[in-house]
Structure 1
Amino acid sequence: MKQKLFKCLPLAAAALLFVNTTQAQEKLDLSTWSIGVNAGVLTPVSPFGGKNDFSNWKSSLGYGLYVKKQITPYFSLRLDGVRGKLKGDNSEPWDGGSTNASPVSAFETDLSYSGSLNAVVNLFNISMFNKNSAVQLYASGGAGLAGYKVKTAAGSGALADYAGGKTIKELIIPVGLGAKFKVAEKVNLDLGWTVNFVDGDNLDGYYRGGNDKYNYAYAGLEFALGSGKQQLAWHNPVALTYDEALQAKQTANALKSDLDAQKAENAKLRAEMSDLLKDSDGDGVADKLDKCPGTPAGTVVDGSGCPLKVPAPVEKVIITESDRKVVADAIKNLEFDLGKATIRSKSYATLNRVAELLIQKNFSLKLAGHTDNTGSAALNMRLSKDRAESVKAYLVSQGANASRIEATGYGMNQPIASNKTAAGRQQNRRVEFTLF
């Protein structure tokens, strides 16, 4: 059992050195690592009763060092190391007056090393209303290994090496209590007392059939490491949560007050505007803006409260094949004087039928004038426009509505046949009629 524990101690120490901080601690910028130094009194006595091997135990100087990792505000792991001497003899009688008949009259133990891994629990660091305390009580317990050399004396003889002067290694179980005082943001005064239970009966060089014990009462300083502004050990998340809840409640109350004030203001505005919003005829327009009060229910009104004038439905224009034939005949028979916009008289009959069609059916007409490529582009553009306008003027003279006739000239830009032949150029010299 002891050998297995010895093998586990280095692994436990490594786990202590490499354990990671939690995300919450990082966000709060808290120190979680610390180192402590202490000095005090080592005594080879059992304060819990049991067997003491020597009637007169002596106090000796001890000193120690530890590294601590704070896991939560209430729990930490601490790696302790202690050195010093333990002494005792039988120069005084037992408390009852009897003499110690032990064959060993005195001993001196050199505690070469004592290393242990301890769990430390803060007992009184939970305060609902205090985020950071200044006084802290704690309890600790763990396991470790001690190595020591013993010298003993028989009768009035001098001290001599026990077990050939070899270093004895034994399992120890340390149990302790302590108090801590914060003297600065990263410095603590540490007062503690630890009882070490030894898994053996040779700490004092005298075997009586029971396990030995020794005490270490100490005082020291603990220094927080890292860049954290506060120590996690002094941090109280319970109080912090209370503060956050209290702040949230205050914020909610402030928001409720603002909401109530806004509601009151809205009610006041509604009261003040009740006259402005009054609508006696229910047409959706306030009386003060209604230019046509008393409109019948269901009447569609405009922004001034007057009945909305609905335009008469537009008749759908239907162009028949006979209508298209009238236009096609006019296009076929349309002729102009050479190089001019003057309409020849032979075209009047078919144009008159187009004018009658526009009057009877209220059609709209688009006239598009085109030329061949003879002459300059500017001349052809002007000539095509003039010919389209000439047709429009004739139709208007026959009673057609001028606003429904559009005349546009395209010059030689939109040929429908080749300009390389006389027949092609004749086809390109045209005015197109489009009914709509």
Structure 2
Amino acid sequence: MAIKKYALLTSLMLSVAATGAYAQLQGVINVADSSKIPAKRMAQQNEWLNHSPNEPFPAKPRNMWQLGVYGGAFIIDGDVSPYPGLPGWNVGIQARKALGYVVSVRAQLGYGVTKGLDYKKNPNFLNNANLEPYRSSNGGPGFYVPNFKTEAILPSVDLLFSMNNLMFHKKQSKVNWYLLGGTTPFIYRTKLDLGRGVSADGSTYATMYDYASLPAGFFNQSRKDIKKYLKDNFFDGDYETYARVNDRAQNFDDGGSDKWQIRHSWDIGTGLEFRLSQRLSLGAEIKYVFTQDDYIDGWKFVGGTTAHTPQNDNLILGNLSVNFNIGNSAKRVAPLWQLNPLGYLYNEIQNPTHLQIKPILDDADGDGVVDQFDVEPNTPAGCPVDTKGKSRDTDGDGVPDCRDKELITPTQCQPVDAEGVGKCPDPECCKNIQTPLAACQIGSLPSVQFKSGVKLTAEAEAILAAAAGQIKANPTCKVVVVGYMEQSSKRAEQLSWDRVNTVIKYLVEKQGVSRDRLLFKHGQSGAANTVDLQDATGQSADAYVNPPHPQFQTSK
């Protein structure tokens, strides 16, 4: 009966609260706003903002506390049915803090009072020694009607789980639905109304209730009529006797004691939060508390009595709340359960502000260089090209590598035929010729490509081996090794330096090129995966450059 009444009352409360849910939630968070990030998480935020591959996630922002006041129904779901009319009441304060976007923790402290009044004759006199005068053997009617009043202090700590703030198909919701569970150290004391008037010492009655005076057939009426008559015409409502309890200090306390009892209880529940503005929200909640105590309503089931079940007395709390978000909005976002973290991701996909998305441009000849930058837009299929889209010519003989049958033709053997094969002079006639040193005529030098990091591919090593022969064949020439970057950042500049250093080390250590013939240039604007070898004539470059940002240095 209590549960049915409570369900109806809760429905009414939710309907009233729903009328306040008119405001649109501001439910999307800007995770790129570093002003909301605490100092201890700023390192993570900076790594993410700088597109570090080691940190793909932004830092969790500071979020506001929520403080609130609440009040509503308080019913004991036990052996004695609720008092006729409105149920008991409870009021309290609460504080809630988000642990994440789904889970939050809430502490409450409340006080409540509730009453109960049964509608049946009860012949069980073992519940309280003060009931003995009602026994027929003592001249009583042989029964009594249980009634009680319970005061309760209601502290609790609960975890709340938001069920609908992670939304894939809309920005926000007007209502946040949550489930909860936790602990309630239930503190209570119960009193009974057993007679009219109290003696001076407060332990006996001046006048016992005369149940024999009730009209014939009184208990054959409807329960509603029975309870209404007893409430209005029979009981005086003084609740003068403390009920029997299962006390830890002693096995039982049969009344006369005002000690508060404590039961370590646990609770479950569900609720809705209706947000009215950035700071204000209304709540509606149902909570069921499992107390592990059958004495809360002043009556315990004892085998052999009638019409009651041997269950513990539990609590039903139905509350409306007014809640306020507390904190500096310049430094904190709203409580995280009120936000949809997926909103930022969808906004970035539609209008990128942080994501690095490369456009797809036309490349008609498929050489890897887009048409608008390709100086040779019709490169034959399979021909490797340099960063400008021109077919590579490793030995500079005018025949592209993809058609050159003699990939490295010595300079003295050029010019070459259509297949790139040169004709060298007769050794006998030329063995005493001393070739004078002249200005550098090394010609076109190749480029190498990195797939990722600083490791050379097999193809790149083959190109560098060929280039080493060309360099050593031109002893008067110095070569600039040039590295590029597509955007200006410390990490990109260091990666450009690392790749230039890798190429130089390979030419010196693996191919025997003299180190003093190789000059160092990095951080130039261009394709980051490319390193060019260029004639040093007319160029400004250093023999060696220290790593610009060693904290980002990459090793093989």
- When normalised by structure 2's length, the TM-score is 0.40
More helix by share: 1
More strand by share: 1
Whichever of the two has the greater Rg, that structure is 1
- When normalised by structure 1's length, the TM-score is 0.50
Higher relative contact order (CA 8 A, sep 6+): 2
